[in-house]
Amino acid sequence: MTSFVRCKPAFLAFAGLFAVYSVFWYLNNPRLLVLLTIAISLIIILVLGSVFARDKDRLQSEWVFLVLLISFLIIFCFIFPPFTAPDEGHHYFSTYWLVDSLPFNAHVTNDGAFLVRDIDYALYNSRQPGDAINSASFDSVIDGFSLFGNGQLVPFSEFSFSAGGENITAKLGSIIGLQIGLFFGLGAYPAFYMGRIGSALVFCFCAFQAFRIAPKGKSVIVFVSLLPMTLHLAASYSYDSGIIAYSLLVFACLMRGFFGEQRSIGKREVFIYLIISVLLAPCKVIYSGLILLGLFVPLSQFIDEKTGRFSRFLLIFCVMLSVLALRLASMSSLVSQTSDSSRGHEAGQLYSFGDILLHPKNSFLVFCRTLDSLGDFYWETTLGYSLGWLQENLRFPAFYMIPYLFFGFICCLDSSDEPSFLAAPVSFLFIFAFLLAALGSIASMWLAWTFNYENVIQGVQGRYFLPALPALLFGLRTRLFRFNSTSISVVTTGVCVMNCLYLIRFISVASCL
């Protein structure tokens, strides 16, 4: 209670600011949906404030994290109309194709088409133009919602899919959710949202387990899990949801390896890490560097040195085998691609490895020009300043992202609850794993999305950096500054409050467009 007395002026000041902020955005668009968002945000903030006032250490509880994560995932799941997350139309029908490919469904035809319900196809067609979020898109959800509606099966062939290109392991949640919706004959909207809910539940389970497993780095897990961009992806059909979820588990296992008790890693822990690695590695090869950090866990942490050495061999073998089995075809297509390609309505010749390697001066200029032109875009979209598939009229002012940067900075500091640091060489390897993922993302878009006459690399988004962000934040930990409070409590409270303010502004602007 003493801490509350000291913080009382700050709480009163924030209460006044929140009141003014809420009134402004409600008057900007006095709709029931805006008022509901304000009410939910107020409840979350009041609960956080009461817990912080009584005992801020309670905010370090895994159950508090779980409740907050579920709350925000539910909001993000339903606040975005269908097909308004990044490439969600493609991801939705790839999930549909995977559901149809299950043996007990067998709805995939010999010519590559697969069967979908006409009501689901109609939903896609009704939302396709621009996939914009506006007042009409919210009204269409309410007007078109029907709990049940089987419809007729019709062939669909607008997209083509392959097992090696759809990151099946990262879409398990959406596959299960959509299958349940179709099995019970739910209407187009309920079946669609069942897939989102399945994806969100798998992410929530993985993030919660990561928080429980990690002896250190919990503030990093909280920060990455509750970022607006992470929540947006986790509550969608995007395979980024599964990729980020598995990367959090990998990071938690690494924390246990480096900071757990000596001789605490046995065959069970090794097996779990291998399973997670096999799930993550084939999704995108660029994140393999994060997985291979497990090679540097000291042998003293294993139950015996023989287990430690053998686990390193197994890790390399499993990563290579899973990548070769599921990603070799897509990787080779990048290397050998020489024909004209299309990008939306544009057509042209994409960059090849030869273009990059044989013209080093031009490649150097293109790379540096890209960082100079789009560097701000990368870090902002990592945090989430532009949701709704980069919809320009919903972009947030950059100053909304500055508090998120501050809480990310806190994750890098020595604090009273997590006074833990990696050895300098290992810390460098954590940072290098992030750089490898970031440069890999840029290189992949250079080859797969950039025409050879363009002088800036196209298609790279900050969300590609999220899976490796925990490695960067923990690798940057420094003793130069000390945070004289519990970092987990402050990061949890701060990010959740910013998310509430974010949601109020977002729904007020979006629902009046």
Region 143-151: mean pLDDT is 86
Q: Evaluate whether 346 touches 451 at the Cβ level (below 8 Å).
A: yes
420 — pLDDT class (breaks 50, 70, 90): confident
Q: What whole-number distance in Å separates Cα of residue 251 and Cα of residue 215?
A: 11
Determine the average pLDDT of the residues in 345-358: 86
DSSP code for 15? H
Average pLDDT, the chain: 89
Q: Which of 339, 375, 368, 335 is nearest to 352 (CA)?
A: 335
Q: Give residue-wise pLDDT tens across range 444-471.
A: 999 988 998 999 999 999 999 999 999 9
pLDDT at 437 over 80: yes
For residue 470, the model assigns a pLDDT of: 97
CB contact at 8 A, 161 and 326: no
Nearest to 433 by CA among 233, 334, 229, 292: 292
User: Distances from the Cα of 359 to the Cαs of 159, 187, 337, 404, 446, in angstroms?
Assistant: 35, 55, 18, 39, 14
Answer whether residue 167 shows pLDDT above 50: yes
DSSP 479-502: EEEEE-S-HHHHHHHHHHHHHHHH
CA-based torsion, 84, 89, 94, 97: positive or negative: positive
Tell whether the model's pLDDT for residue 305 goes beyond 50.
yes
Q: Give CA–CA dist 416/400, Å, rounded.
A: 28
Q: Say which amino acid occupies 147.
A: L
Confidence label for 1 from pLDDT (cuts 50, 70 and 90) = very low
- Binning pLDDT at 50, 70 and 90, where does residue 340 land? low
Q: Phi first, then psi: what are they for 241, rounded to 5°?
A: -60, -50
Give the span between the Cα atoms of 208 and 398, in whole angstroms: 30
What does the angle CA 233 – CA 279 – CA 335 come to, to the nearest 5 degrees? Answer: 85
Do 289 and 436 form a contact (C-beta atoms < 8 A)?
Answer: yes
Amino acid at 61: S
DSSP 3-state percent helix, strand, coil across the chain (nearest 5): 70, 5, 25
By three-state DSSP, how is residue 345 classified?
A: coil
Element (H, E) at 348: strand 346-349
Can you tell me whether residue 204 is helix, strand or coil?
Answer: helix
Tens of pLDDT, residue by residue over 479-513, are: 888 888 888 989 999 999 999 999 999 999 999 88
pLDDT in tens, 14-44: 888 899 999 999 999 999 999 999 999 999 9
Is the pLDDT reported for residue 416 higher than 90?
no
Alpha-carbon gap, residue 412 to 404, rounded angstroms:
13
pLDDT at res. 344: 66
Q: How far is CA 508 from CA 21, 113, 169, 247, in A?
A: 11, 41, 36, 33
> 304 or 107, which is more confident?
304
Residues with Cβ < 8 Å from 164, sequence gap 6 or more? 326, 327, 328, 329, 330
- Burial of residue 110, with CB atoms counted within 10 A of its CB: 0-12 exposed, 13-18 middle, 19 or more buried: exposed
Please give the model's pTM, rounded to 2 decimal places. Answer: 0.94
Phi, psi dihedral angles at 237 (to 5 degrees):
-85, -5
58-113 pLDDT, tens digit per residue, is 778 899 999 999 999 999 999 999 999 988 999 999 999 999 888 878 677 766 78
